[in-house]
Structure 1
C-alpha cells in the first residue's frame, strides 16, 4: 500500500463516497451524487503527491471494481508531427502514422483497465467503442508504420475484451488479424497503394463477422449511422469515421468526440439502471498529468459531453485526475474545495456554479497543500529506528538526531512530500553512523549509496539533458547570465539552450511569478528571484553543481563558473556590482567583498548599501572539498585578531557579512544568539552611518526576525528627512 501523509481526506473520504466502496474493506458506503459525479481534479506542483494519491487509489481498488488508468505525459513523450499523432505507441517509435492520437491511445488504455472482469462485475465488451477504435485504426495500404501500430492495438483490445479466440478456438493475434484483412484486399479491385477505403471497409467487416453477434452488430452500426448523416450502406458510417479521423484537425476532433460518447454510453449500459438503483460501486478512472495537451483534450471531451447531456443521462464513471497548474484558467466554473473540506462532504453541485451549462462546471478541484511540520515529524518517526543504537562511550551523542532537525527538514523541503520523504530516508541511512545535524541535510545518501540531491533532481526533472542544463544554469541570476553560462559550458545541438531551459521552467510550473522584489516563497534568499525561481529546486540544483564540480570527471569547476559570472556582471557597470561581489563570495573570496562593502559604507545611501548586502549574502557557498566553512566562527568574532590593523567598521562588516551569509543558507539553524549577533552588528553600523540611522536601525529590527523565520530579508526603505 502506498504510504501517504495528510492526503487521507481524498483516499479515505471523498473517493470512497464517489465510487460507493470503502478504500480498505469490501464494504459498500453511501454514494455522493448518485447521478452525475464531478471530475475530481487534484492540483499542485511537482513532488506534491498527486501521483502518490493516484497510486494509493489504484492499490485500494485494483481488482475490487472496474479501474482504468492513464498517464497523459507518457503519450507521445518524444513529440509528434502536426496531425500525425504521437510518435511512440506501446513504447515503440512510430513515424508517419495517421491512425492514432492521444485521445485514442487514452481510450485504449482505459478499455484495457476497465474491460477485464472483477468479482461482482462481468466483462465489459464496449460494443459501441470497439468498432469505432478498429475503424480509426485502419491503415493506408503500404504504410508499414500504420500497419504495425494497428497490429499492436488490435492485439491489446481483443485480449482486454476477451475476444482473442475466433470461431475455431484459435488465438487471434493482431498479426494474424491484419494478415487476414490483407488477404481480403488481395481479391478486391486494384487501388493505389495509399488507399484507405478498402482497408477500413475490410477491417470493419472482419470485426463484426468475427467478434460480434448479429444483433449486437446491428445495434452498434445503427448507433454510428445515427451520427453520420447520409450513410446508406451497412458499414458506411464507420468507414466515414475512419476517413475523418485520418484527415486530422477538426475532422479528427469530431471523431474523438464520437468515440468518447461511445465510451461513456458503453459504461452506462454495463452499469445498468438496476445497478444504479442499488448503488453498486461505480467504475473508477485515474488520469495523471491532465495539464498536458493530451489531458486537456480528453477531459475537455468528457466534460463537454456531460454538459451537453445536462445530467439527463448521467454516466457512472468516477474520474480522478491530477495536474500541475491551479486549473482556474481552463476551468473557470469549477468548484474549489480545500483538502480538509472533502473529508466528509464534497459540497459540489453543477447548479451552484455561475454557468451550469459550461463544461468546467462539472469539475471539483482540490489543491494538495504542502505538508505541515507535524507530517514531517511523522516521517522522521518512521525513518528513525524505534530502538536507536546507543552512542559508544566517548562519542558525545553520535548516532542521534539534532533536536531542530524536523524544523530544518520541513524548511528545506518546503513541505513537498517527495523531498521530505527522500530526505527522511537519507536520515535513516545516516543514523547509526554519525549525528544528523541540519547542515548535513544536503549531504545525505540513499540506501543504495546515491546522493539524495541527485535522486531528487532526477525525480523532479525527468529529462537527462534538461537536468544537465539546469544544474549548470542554477547559478544564474537571470536570462542574460544563463546565456553566458550556456555559451561557455553547455553542450547542446540547439542554438539557445538557456531559452530552452527558461521555456521548460515556465511550462513545468517551476517559474512561478513574483509580485515584488521581496515577495514570499518564490524569491531567493536575498529577495531577488533568480533564473531558477523555485527555492527548493534551485537549492537542489546548486547542491548538485557543488557535488559534480569537484568530481574527477567534472568539467565545470566551481570557481571558474563564478569567475565567468563575475566578469559577466562586471560588464553591467554599477548595476552589476552586487552580483560581482556575490560571485566573488560564492568562490570563497570573502576579504575583497568585506573591503568593498566597508569602503562604500560611508559613500552610499544606507538603503543602497543594505540592498547590495542582502544580494551578496544570498551567494551559495563553495564545495566543501575546496573550502572550510568557518562562517559562523567569523561572525562571532573569532577572526577579529587576524585583522589588528582594521578599524571597527571593517571588523563589524566582516562579522555581519559572514553571519548573514551563514543564516541565509537553506540548511542553517537560526538560533537566538545568531540572530542577536546580526541585530548587534546592524545596530552598531546604524550609529556609524552619517545619514542612514533610520534605515539601518529598521533593518536591525526586521532582519533578525526574517532570519529567525527563514523569510527573505525585507527590502530596506529609504527614509527621507522632511
Structure 2
C-alpha cells in the first residue's frame, strides 16, 4: 500500500503559516477562524499533514479523531463532542484545565436513566442522578465543575437546578434560547420550567431525526459556550493560543455530520467567536460546501493549467475552487486574518507534487537531484504523493543504475499493492466497468452505452459520481472534459491489458468499439488514438501525412502538433522487457515512401516515450529529435515549430 509521504514537500505554507494564523489570538480575542479542510484522494498526504499539524500543536490544548478508526465513522455529533471535551479538558502546562460544565450537564441528562414519558418520574430520576453524582466518576475530574457551578447540588432537594439550567441557557444566544424553549410544548411558567428543559434534551436525544438534530445543536452550543468562557476572565492572560481539534477522514457520515453541526453552531453564534481552530481532512466532496465552494472537478476546465485555482461566478457571487498550498500565503497575507471571504470553510486541495517537490523527496532517498530519476518518478505517478514516496523508496533499494530499462520493474513490483489500495473505494460491481472505461481519453465514454455495456445497476451516473466524490477526476485544460487521474488510469489500463482474449471486453474489443464510435461521429483524431492503442500504425500515419502534401504555415503546424500529441498519448500493452529501439523497429515497419517511414518512426517513438515505462532511459530522444528535423525540411514557415519541438529532445 502506498505510504504517506515521509516528508511533506511543498506544505510549509500550511504547516507553518496557516496553523499560526488559525491558532493566533490577535489582541487576546477570538476572531472566528474558518474550518480548514484538506481534500485529496487516497494517498495524497492528508494524514501526514494532520500528523505534522498535531506535532506543532503539542503544547496547545488539542484533540484528534480519525473517523475511519475506533468505529467513529457513524458517531453521533453529541457523542463526539464529549470525546473532544475529555481530551481538551486534560491539564495543559501553560493553559491549565479547560472546564466544560454546560456540556457535562447535557451529558449527565442524556446519559441518565430518565423516563421521558412520565414527567413526574423523570424529575425524580434527574434529581437522583444529580444527588448521587454517579455519572461524574465516568466523566473525569472536569465534570465536577457541574456541581460547583450549579450551586452545590446535594441531598434530595433541588437547590442548584435553576442555576444549573441557567448556566446552560446562558451559553446559548438569544435566538437559540427562544428556539429551544419554544420546542417544549405547553411549558409551564413555574420554576419547574427549567427542569422541563433538561428533560426535553433527554427526549430529543431519543427522538426522531429532527429531535436528535436539536439535541446535537444544544450539545454543540454548550461546547462552544464553555470554550468561550474558558478563554475569558482570569484565564484570558495565560491562554494565548486557541485550542485545536484535528479531524481525519471527515468524508465519513459521522465526519460530515459533525462538521455540519459545528458550522451551523458558529453561524448561530454570529459575532460571538469561539477560540477553536479546526483542521480536518476529507477523501470526498461534502455537499455542504456547495453553498460557497466549487468542487475541484466543477471549474477550471478552460484554464491553461489544469490545477490552477480559479473562481466561477454564480448568482452574482464568486465561488472559489479549493485552494492549493501555494495559494495560502497570499490568501492569508496582511496583519489581520483574511478569513471573511472563506468563512465558514477554507478548503485546500492536496494531491499533486510539482517536479521540484519530487526532486526534494528524491534527495531524501539519496537520489541525485540532477539525474533522470526524479523526472521519471514524477511522470509515472503524476505527482501522487503516496505513490511517489513508495516508488522512490523502491528505486533507492533496487535500482541498477547501469541498466535504466530496469526501472520498468519498479512499477510492476508496486502494481499489485497499488491496485488494491487505489481501487478499494470502488465496490466490486463497479470495478469491471471502471476498467473498461479506462480505455478512453476521458470519462465521456461512461455516457455512451453503444460503446460500453455497463454492469452497474445504477448506471453510468453513479460511477461518474463515485469518481467525482472520491476526487479521482481531473478537469482537462481547454477541452471542457473530465479525465481519470493519470495514476488511477494507469492502474486500470494494466487491468484491461491483463484481460484474457476470450473476455467480451478485452483490450482489442474495447479499443475497437471506441475507435468505431469516434469514426462514426467524425472525430478522426480520437479514432486514430484508439487505432494506435490497437497497434494500427498505418492508419495513424495516413492521417498525420495529409498536411505534408504541401508547405505548412504556422497555423497548420500548430494544429498538426496538437493532433500528434493527442494520438501518441494512446496507451499501449507492448512488451516491457524489450529494448525501446527494438520495439520501434518492430512496430514502425518498412515503408517504401521516405516521408511515411519518417512519420512512422516518429509516431512509434513518441508513443513509447510518452509512456513513462516505455523508455525510462530516454534512449529514443535522438530518434525523435532527428525525425522532427527531417520532417521540417522544406516545409515552409511552419517548419520553425517542428524544429522547436525537436530541440526538446536534444
The answer to whether TM tops 0.5 is yes
TM-aligned CA deviation for residue 260 of structure 1: 1.4
Conservation of the 8 A alpha-carbon contact between 2:10 and 2:325: no
Distance 2:337 2:492 in 1: 44
How far apart are the structure 2 equivalents of 1:473 and 1:199?
63
**Tell me, what secondary structure is at the counterpart of 1:277?**
coil
Q: Is the partner of 1:621 in helix, strand or coil?
A: coil
Pair 1:420 & 2:366 matched: no
Find the counterpart in structure 2 of residue 41 from structure 1. Answer: 36
**Structure 1 match to 2:463:** 501
**2:507 counterpart residue number:** 561
- What pairs with 1:568-587 in structure 2 (closer than 5 Å)? 568-571=514-517, 573=520, 575=522, 577-587=524-534
Cα separation, partners in 2 of 1:622 and 1:491, compared to 1, 3 Å: same
Contact between 1:373 and 1:407, CA under 8 Å: does it hold in 2?
yes
Confirm or deny: 8 A CA contact 1:426 1:444 kept in the other structure. no
Residue matched to 1:67: 62
SS of the counterpart of 1:320? strand
CA displacement at 1:407 relative to structure 2: 1.9
Residues 263 and 469 of structure 1: is their aligned pair in 2 closer, same or farther, counting only changes over 3 Å? farther
Identify which of 236, 239, 255 aligns with 1:276. 236
5 Å-filtered alignment, 1:61-460, equals 61=57, 64-71=59-66, 74=68, 90=72, 101=76, 103-119=77-93, 126-133=100-107, 181=113, 207-209=129-131, 210=134, 211=136, 213=147, 215=151, 218=161, 219-224=163-168, 227=177, 228-229=181-182, 230=187, 232-244=192-204, 248=208, 252-289=212-249, 298-299=258-259, 301-303=261-263, 305-306=265-266, 309=269, 311=271, 313-323=272-282, 330=292, 339=326, 342=329, 347=334, 349=336, 353=340, 360-361=342-343, 370-384=352-366, 403-431=371-399, 435=403, 440=408, 443=411, 445=413, 451=416, 453-454=418-419, 457-458=422-423
Q: Deviations over 1:533-562 (max 9, x none)?
A: 33333234324544x547xxx98599x333
Instruction: Measure, in 1, the Cα distance between the counterparts of 2:218 and 2:600.
Output: 71
**Distance verdict in 2 for CA 1:676–1:198, change over 3 Å:** farther
1:15 aligns with 2:16: no
Of 55, 58, 67, 2:54 maps to 58
Superimposed CA distance per residue, residues 386-442 of structure 1 (whole angstroms, 9 cap, x where no aligned partner): xxxxxxxxxxxxxx9992111222333343322321221221232369745595276
* TM-align CA RMSD: 4.9
Cα distance in 2 between the residues matched to 1:698 and 1:580? 28
CA drift of 1:566 comes to: 0.7
- Distance in structure 1 (CA, Å) of the matches to 2:118 and 2:214: 19
8 Å CA contact 2:324, 2:348 repeated in 1:
yes
**1:4 aligned residue:** 8
Structure 2, unmatched stretches of 5+, are 137-145, 153-159, 171-176, 294-317
Confirm or deny that 1:683 pairs with 2:645.
no
The yes-or-no answer on 1:473 pairing with 2:437 is yes
**1:9–1:342: 8 Å Cα contact kept in structure 2?**
yes
The 3-state SS of whatever aligns with 1:285 is strand
- Counterpart in the other structure of 1:618: 569
CA distance in 1, matches of 2:573, 2:565: 18
Find the aligned partners of 2:405 and 2:45 in 1 and give their Cα distance.
Answer: 27
- Is the contact made by 1:10 and 1:343 (CA closer than 8 Å) also made in structure 2? no
Give the distance between the partners of 2:28 and 2:450, measured in 1 at CA: 54
Residues 541 and 596 in structure 2, CA contact (< 8 A), matched pair in contact too: yes
Per-residue CA deviations over 1:549-580 (Å, capped at 9, x if unaligned) read 47xxx98599x333233135415526255444
Within 1, Cα distance between the matches of 2:369 and 2:265?
55
Is the 8 Å Cα contact of residues 423 and 431 (structure 2) preserved in structure 1? yes
Question: TM-score with structure 2 length normalisation?
Answer: 0.70
Pairs aligned (count): 570
CA 285–200 in structure 1, closer or farther in 2 if over 3 Å, else same:
farther
Matches of 2:562 and 2:13 in 1, distance apart? 45
Deviation by residue 1:106-147 (Cα, 9 ceiling, x = unmatched):
424423532444555666553212343565x6xxxxxxxxxx
Could you tell me how far 1:54 is from its partner in structure 2? Answer: 0.8
Q: How many angstroms does 1:619 deviate by?
A: 1.5
Alpha-carbon separation, structure 2, partners of 1:474 and 1:310:
48
- Paired residues of 2:245 and 2:278 also in contact (CA < 8 A): yes
TM-score normalised by length of structure 1: 0.64
How far has the Cα of 1:346 moved from its partner? 5.7
Question: Within 1, Cα distance between the matches of 2:562 and 2:276?
Answer: 56
- Cα 1:300–1:33 change in 2 (3 A) is farther
Q: How does 1:596-607 map to 2 (within 5 A)?
A: none
